[in-house]
Amino acid sequence: MPTWMSIRRVLAAGAKNFARGGVVSFATVLIMTVTLGIIGLLLFLSAILDHTLGVIRDKVDVNVYFVTSAQEPAINELADRIRTLPEVAEVTYTSRDEALAEFRLRHAGDQLTLQALEELGGNPLGASLAIKAKDPSQYETVAKFLDSGSALSSGTASIIDRVNYYQNKTVIDRLTGVIRISERAGTAFVLLFSLASIIIALATIRLAIYSARDEIGVMRLVGATNSYIRAPFIVAGMIAGGIAAIIVLFVLYPTSWYVSAKFSSWLGGFNVFTYYLAHFPSIFFTLFGAGVLLGGVASYVAVRRYLRV
């Protein structure tokens, strides 16, 4: 079992290996920085996409329009039944009077339309319910409930005039598809660039092992164990990953500020800089942990493959 003194010696040897690596260490840090930069970019892109999809999701709903003869108690009873559905997040009721007021407001500059409305001599609009599902893929279930005959009726006639789900179905399906594709694409990109980083790091660590071949030979002669010889190279790789993560974190600070100042309106009001500051602990641990892990894994694979002890 390694003692604290042995651990300190391994850490010191790993730091010396990294410092003496020169160009090789610089190349390793550079490759790790590019990889972690891509991972950081994916974190921001994921946040931006989640924000954008959230804005779109809030605008997408299913509206139930009632006949003008529908009574408010019957509508409220149906609304209560819809709220009990596990797929439903929110149900908003708009009365006939509110619908008429909104119609007048939307067409405030269209005198011809308002004049035609006055000539009708009454309120031609019915009440409505705006239904928001917990997930866009669940709107179809809500629409089926409304079409199944489970909806209340007034006498023998249905109180529902129409449901606009099928008019919005294309938008809802596209939104659901974008959410699924973005989740899969983000995972695929992280795995792809992590693998690329490990493969490239293998080559740089192989050079480090080759340049230290004389020192390794001396360590063998004095009886150093295999793990003691290999450990400093793994530590050096982890140091490279940690330094790369710190570089990326420093670069992200001014970059996120610049993007927020120039492109916030293009991102639907999403403030990248504010997100970076608010989520700095999680971003730090994600990038630093990923850097140390990638450096350690790449070094371990390299020493197992190229360092014959």
Question: Quick one: average pLDDT of 122-145?
Answer: 83
Q: Residue 113 in 3-state DSSP?
A: helix
Angle at 8 between CA 7 and CA 12, to 5 degrees: 120
Question: Quick one: average pLDDT of 301-305?
Answer: 75
pLDDT digits (tens, 9 = 90+) for 214-249: 676 776 777 667 777 778 878 888 888 899 999 999
pLDDT digits (tens, 9 = 90+) for 57-66: 677 778 888 8
On average, the pLDDT of the chain sits at: 79
Gap between the Cα atoms of 42 and 185, Å rounded: 10
What is residue 122's predicted lDDT score, i.e. its pLDDT? 76
Range with lowest mean pLDDT among 48-57, 276-285, 292-301:
48-57
Return the closest-CA partner of residue 54 out of 142, 138, 132, 139.
132
DSSP H or E stretch at residue 157? strand 157-158
Q: Residue 52 in 3-state DSSP?
A: helix
Gap between the Cα atoms of 196 and 241, Å rounded: 14
Is the confidence at residue 197, as pLDDT, over 70? no
284 vs 23, residue with greater confidence: 284
What is residue 154's predicted lDDT score, i.e. its pLDDT? 46
Annotated domain spans of the chain: 4-56+174-306, 68-158
Q: Would residue 2 be called left, alpha or beta, if left means φ above 0 and alpha means ψ between -120 and 50 degrees?
A: beta
CATH class of 68-158: alpha beta
Gap between the Cα atoms of 235 and 225, Å rounded: 16
Range with lowest mean pLDDT among 11-25, 34-48, 235-249:
11-25
Gap between the Cα atoms of 24 and 224, Å rounded: 25
* Total-model pTM: 0.66
